[in-house]
Amino acid sequence: MNSIGMQFINGVWTHGSGKSVRDIINPASGKVVGTVAEGSSADVDAAVAAARTAFDEGPWRDTPALARASLLLKLADALQADMAAFAKIETENNGKPLREAEGDVTDAANCFRYYAGLITKPLGQTYDVPDAMQSMVVREPVGVCGLIIPWNYPLLMAAWKLAPALGAGNCVIFKPAEATPLSAIRLFGLIEKLGLPAGVANLVLGAGEIVGARLSEHMDIDKIAFTGGTDTGRLIMKAAAGNIKKISLELGGKSPCIVFDDADIEVAVDWALFAIFCNQGEVCSAGSRLLLQDGIYDRFLARLVERAKQIVVGPGDDPLTEMGPLITREHMERVLSYIEIGKADGARLMCGGTRMAGKLSEGFFVEPTIFADCTPDMRIVREEIFGPVLAVLRFSDEAHAVKLANDSVFGLAGGVFSADGAKALRVIRKLRSGITWINCYHPTYNEAPWGGYKQSGIGRELGTFGLEAFTEVKQININLAPGKIGWYRH
Ligand code: NAD
């Protein structure tokens, strides 16, 4: 990017109220790949005012669903047609391997397609009530929505929020993570071409504690849809209390991947590696706790470590790369500090454990790291690291596996590997988690709901649940026998 990336407020590209800029870094090289305008509280206020007017006075909420659907489909096609540029930007800005970035572009385009289809399908209900009344429910847009996302899937998370929010007829202020705004800026370039009324879709850039916090407390915003860390989610809940905003929170996790003695070891090793090391371990649903049954513990671990050592770490634009760099220097240092904590707490380091040297020393690369013989009290077992660090624990039987798996403040995801289908389902049904897999890990579908139990969040994205989350429910009662009600004597 040669010029400065701008914000999009009330249908106009603008630097905003200030003159500050932020350099955007390629995590594979530590070099600047772009410079963007730094948003401010005043920019949030301007975007909210535009969205408020667009919602209260504009035609968007009353635009027929079919017309909104056709715009979402157009956006999906434009995104897909621009796949190469989007994937390149995503890899340069986030670090992920190019083929994963290409997958994200396709998934994002399909998310717009999915909601384009869904919004023209039946949504209401009618009731047979004990009076001469027609009672029914219609779904209406929530209003003005603040959409705040993290840096691990910048384009995909944008699609997960923008598609249902706009599809349902809301007006939005979208805020990407400060480290990864580049694909969002390009996406808004495509949104601009759709010709939506001014103020319907706004893009505000900048720091979470300024721009995100202002959105969360703003009295003219009806809903915040947030994806990010659990501590930030807590702050947002508090800030949203002022006007009792609707909130949906997709937060952190420390998800268990459970392998029983009877599982196919080669298959389970493959998925267990993917569970923790895909997207550099920067995945909310990462299988970051691996629970192995006694009978296979040593054999499984040996094979897992052998395979982990073969993972090719490198810049995302190298076609051989299987795992890229971490997002920022600060995040890399945080992940490395957890590795030191793991060692100090007595976990057995089996592989990895250090920052990559040599050619990769310019970027923020950490080796795939596995700790064995972990115990439930260790911090590397309890806390979300959000990097390529796996904690392996041992279990004896089904009940023990469930107990260990649920011993967490989080409840986002979980997987079970076993040749015994009934046993696998029994264990899955006992997991206090919102997203689960049997004999696989991570496959994610636009059609199925995404979200967590416990401190992993509130509400669900994707699927029909994800659309409902951007609607209000209105009850309508129509008197079929109009006349006086007979309550008063005169
Ligand atoms: P983060 O919470 O630091 O930041 C997420 C977003 O919130 C960013 O846009 C940031 O600018 C903004 N923000 C920061 N402080 C804010 C505040 N006070 N008020 C409002 N907004 C604020 O998280 P991160 O480091 O970007 O992402 C990693 C976290 O996201 C991990 O915990 C991960 O598990 C979680 N995550 C969850 C899901 C899910 O679907 N459950 C998906 C991806 C990531």
pLDDT tens, position by position, 398-408: 999 999 999 99
239 CA closest ligand 1 atom index: 19
Q: What's the CA dihedral at 413, 121, 153, 196 to 10 degrees?
A: -160
Give the Cβ contact number of residue 78 at 10 Å. Answer: 17
Closest ligand 1 atom to Cα of 250: 41
Of 227, 382, 450, 453, which is best to mutate to test ligand 1, by the most ligand atoms within 8 angstroms of its C-beta? 227
Q: Name the residue at shortest CA distance from atom 16 of ligand 1.
A: 208
Is 284 designated active site? yes
Task: Please tell me the distance between residue 229's alpha carbon and the centre of ligand 1 in angstroms.
Answer: 4
- The confidence score (pLDDT) of residue 15 equals 98
Pairing of strands 223-227, 201-203: unpaired
Identify whether the C-beta of residue 431 lies closer than 8 Å to the C-beta of residue 258. Answer: no
Ligand 1 atom with the shortest distance to the CA of 231: 2
pLDDT at 395: 98
Q: Which of 92, 250, 282, 367 is catalytic?
A: 250
Check residue 459 and give its pLDDT: 98
Q: List residues near ligand 1 (CB under 6 A).
A: 148-152, 175, 177-178, 208-209, 212-213, 216, 227-229, 232, 235-236, 250-253, 284, 384, 386, 412, 452, 457
Of the CA atoms within 13 Å of residue 200, those in its CB half-sphere come to: 25
Cα–ligand 1 centroid distance for 149 (angstroms): 6
Residue 388: how many other CB atoms lie within 10 Å: 28
Instruction: Check: CB of residue 307 under 8 Å from CB of residue 273.
Output: yes
**Span from the CA of 384 to the centroid of ligand 1 (angstroms):** 13
Distance from C-alpha of 6 to C-alpha of 392, rounded to nearest angstrom: 45
pLDDT of residue 483: 80
Kind and range of the H or E run holding 297: helix 297-309
Q: What is the pLDDT of residue 240?
A: 98
The residue contributing the CA closest to ligand 1 atom 38 is 284
- Of ligand 1's listed atoms, the one at least distance from the Cα of 215 is 20
Nearest atom in ligand 1 to the alpha carbon of residue 233 is 2
Structure letter (DSSP) for residue 383: S
How far from chain centre, in Å, is Cα 302?
Answer: 33
Do 38 and 20 touch, CB atoms closer than 8 A? yes
Report pLDDT for 1: 46
Backbone angles phi, psi at 345, to 5 degrees: -80, 0
CA of 121 relative to ligand 1 center, distance in Å = 32
Q: Which one of 145, 278, 284, 351 is the catalytic residue?
A: 284
pLDDT under 50 in the chain at which residues?
A: 1
pLDDT (0 to 100) of residue 157: 98
Predicted confidence at residue 402, as pLDDT, reads: 98
What is the reported pLDDT for 122? 86
Mark out the alpha helices in 15-97 (DSSP H runs).
41-57, 65-81, 83-94
| pLDDT attached to residue 2 | 53
Annotated active-site residue 351? The verdict is no
Residue 440: per-residue pLDDT: 98
